[in-house]
Structure 1
């Protein structure tokens, strides 16, 4: 077989060396320049260079997904991706881990490969499903496995998994079902002893169905833990004459206060956001803008919102 000749159709993008040899692929072909060696005993067809990722996090997430797909042929009976790796496969906003996490329920064999961390899960403590062709712990199981995270991070993860894609002006994917529900998160938490169970229990009642980003979730947790009233999330605001003013992250309609998290915006996106906020202010809304710097000073953030609420008529 030519060094870079075609491979048998039964081999997927990633495949075991043993399966390739059994299909008639020569050892020389397995050394072809078009094949990567991501793990011992695995070959993967090299892919075209992807477009530049939007951020460092996106690049690291894409790399982890490539490694998960590359490792998939080595998964043994009953093994599935879990913990951080599962969260990334589901697209969740989580701190990334360099290792792949692979779990097995009960006494099944654990993986022993460099770059892969084997985890043993007691029966009944996890449900495995398929996502993008990969066996992976369900969203509810994945959330309950992440008890080492802080309460705000667990809330952000739960918000992501439970988001309801509701109807609204210019909203994307309206009607798309949530990945899971708070009830299923509670069931997963109650399945047995969990690492970080106290944090999981504290986070569960703070999870909401209409938060759109982890920074929004963190901002909301800061405000609620400061004993401020809970804001409405991602609601559309209109002028008295019916003109659409914008969709806002958090809003206290009865007190005329809007709270907006401002990520890193550039070019046209930044200009449109500036105009949206000025439009809101021109129609009488007090807009508190939150940045990554302000989030590091939660007392100051809560103080700014408290002052605006009091001026709008809120009485604690």
Structure 2
């Protein structure tokens, strides 16, 4: 239920939920005392000062200012569904008619046949609808990252996403279909997605994602980000936790020794390899592929549009 006007409240009882405060509200407290006990989320929308500010809290506050029939969408919907999207300072709300003029709220107009659901008490675009809507705002890599993260949260399957994207029409529908076809299950992080897309957009064979090794009892022994099993080549992204955790460090040593015993090559990629020196990284990957007996096709240039790198990392190593 939405409130079209100020809510009545007892200012002496802090609430964990956002509320509207009209300028003329008689709260029996001075404005100074009120502001000490509360914090403003938006103009006229407050919450108790000790209440942690979360994406959900901001979403609830934004909806208090919205007309009936409004719903959460775009970046805000993506985050509430557990998806990974670039940071954006505003709460995104789609309004059926009016568009709120309020700092901190990004207003959108509804599109035909948008799927809107009620989730945990909030009106919000469905997960697949959110993915399709974000194709208007994100590039290919960030859109695939969103898709991978929503699959990881079990919001949909890659096959279902592809089916719905094929039915999508209008602006950016081609991007939505392309991104949907690149979404995979079993991806643990945005950096793993970026590493896979660097490989794929360069025209190299797509590796298997999330290969798992179990013992005879079914206990998980090892998990590999990207693997070319037939050629005994594994490519993995290592984040800072591998350097900062002694337990993880010892685990990696044991794993590397096992891989060496089995004649498996493990190529380790870190953040700068993707963000700063993608051309050099592709050179390392193709060199490892050739050493493992793989056929390496001529590289495509599409990766350059999505992985800019830095000066001095423009040409691919021979």
Q: For this structure pair, what is the TM-score category when the shorter chain's length is used for normalisation?
A: 0.7 to 0.9
Structure 1 position 256, deviation (Å): 0.8
Q: Which residue of 1 aligns with 2:170?
A: 193
TM score, norm. by length of structure 1: 0.76
Q: Using a 3 Å threshold, how does the CA distance of structure 1 residues 276 and 207 change in structure 2: closer, same or farther?
A: farther
178, 195, 214: which is aligned to 1:202? 178
Aligned residue pairs: how many? 280
179, 194, 215: which is aligned to 2:191? 215
How many angstroms apart in 2 are the aligned matches of 1:159 and 1:34?
Answer: 41
How many angstroms apart in 2 are the aligned matches of 1:89 and 1:32?
Answer: 28
Q: Using a 3 Å threshold, how does the CA distance of structure 1 residues 272 and 68 change in structure 2: closer, same or farther?
A: farther
110, 119, 122: which is aligned to 1:121? 110
Structure 1 position 140, deviation (Å): 0.9
TM score, norm. by length of structure 2: 0.76
How many angstroms apart in 1 are the aligned matches of 2:122 and 2:215?
Answer: 47
Q: Which residue of 2 aligns with 1:308?
A: 288
Q: Contact conserved, 1:16 with 1:43, CA < 8 A, in 2?
A: yes
Q: Which residue of 2 aligns with 1:33?
A: 36
5+ residue gaps, structure 1: 51-61, 164-176
Query: Can you list the C-alpha shifts for 1:256-311, whole angstroms capped at 9, x where unaligned?
Result: 11111011121335424532542343333211111111113333323322222332
Q: Which residue of 2 aligns with 1:180?
A: 156
How many angstroms apart in 2 are the aligned matches of 1:279 and 1:144?
Answer: 44
Q: Which residue of 2 aligns with 1:279?
A: 257
How many angstroms apart in 1 are the aligned matches of 2:48 and 2:151?
Answer: 36
How many angstroms apart in 2 are the aligned matches of 1:272 and 1:135?
Answer: 47
Q: Using a 3 Å threshold, how does the CA distance of structure 1 residues 138 and 206 change in structure 2: closer, same or farther?
A: same
How many angstroms apart in 1 are the aligned matches of 2:250 and 2:66?
Answer: 47
Structure 1 position 67, deviation (Å): 2.4
Query: Can you list the C-alpha shifts for 1:116-148, whole angstroms capped at 9, x where unaligned?
Result: 121102221x22223443322111111111223
Matched, 1:298 2:289: no
Q: Contact conserved, 1:245 with 1:279, CA < 8 A, in 2?
A: no
How many angstroms apart in 1 are the aligned matches of 2:180 and 2:219?
Answer: 37
How many angstroms apart in 1 are the aligned matches of 2:238 and 2:228?
Answer: 18
47, 50, 60: which is aligned to 2:50? 47
How many angstroms apart in 2 are the aligned matches of 1:289 and 1:259?
Answer: 6
Structure 1 position 93, deviation (Å): 1.4
86, 96, 99: which is aligned to 2:87? 96
How many angstroms apart in 2 are the aligned matches of 1:74 and 1:85?
Answer: 16
Matched, 1:133 2:113: no
Structure 1 position 160, deviation (Å): 1.5
Structure 1 position 313, deviation (Å): 2.9
Matched, 1:142 2:130: yes
How many angstroms apart in 1 are the aligned matches of 2:157 and 2:254?
Answer: 32
Q: Using a 3 Å threshold, how does the CA distance of structure 1 residues 109 and 4 change in structure 2: closer, same or farther?
A: closer
Correspondences of 1:254-269 after superposition (within 5 Å):
254-265=230-241, 266-268=244-246
Q: Using a 3 Å threshold, how does the CA distance of structure 1 residues 276 and 203 change in structure 2: closer, same or farther?
A: farther
**What SS does the corresponding residue of 1:258 show, helix, strand or coil?**
strand
Structure 1 position 186, deviation (Å): 4.5
How many angstroms apart in 2 are the aligned matches of 1:245 and 1:205?
Answer: 30
RMSD of Structure 2 on Structure 1 (CA):
3.2
